[in-house]
Homo-oligomer: A and B are copies of this chain.
């Protein structure tokens, strides 16, 4: 997400005085709710879906993720790279290649 988009999201929240509702717990709820709306796009069919609806619901997830990053003062690249370090260790290429098995059963 570029800096302009991030600032737009921050201004949206600030203009509405919504920071008071954005506790980390509430934002975690919001991310789950929006993730489920995204899932609903694929509810009865994996292959026939409304791309416009998918875009909107995915955008909602991303906006609330940005709110949570901001709320906790987290750097997106830092936390994602830290997690990728762990993912790379948990899923070595030679074991995980072509295999969707969860790491604890690999």
**Taking beta carbons and an 8 Å cutoff, which residues of A are in contact with B?**
1-2, 4-5, 8-9, 12, 15-18, 20-21, 23-26, 28-47, 49, 51, 54-56, 58-63, 65, 68-69, 72, 74, 76-77, 79-84, 86-88, 91, 93, 96-100
Give this chain's copy count. 4
Q: A-side binding surface: helix, strand, loop or mixed?
A: helix
**Smallest beta-carbon distance A13→chain B, Å:** 10
- Are B81 and A5 in contact, CB atoms less than 8 angstroms apart? yes
- Are B49 and A24 in contact, CB atoms less than 8 angstroms apart? yes
CA of A15 to CA of B97 in the docked complex: distance in angstroms?
Answer: 7
- Are A39 and B49 in contact, CB atoms less than 8 angstroms apart? no
Q: Which residues of B contact A51 (CB under 8 A)?
A: 72
- Are A32 and B35 in contact, CB atoms less than 8 angstroms apart? yes
Contact of A65 among B43, B61, B96 (CB under 8 A): B61
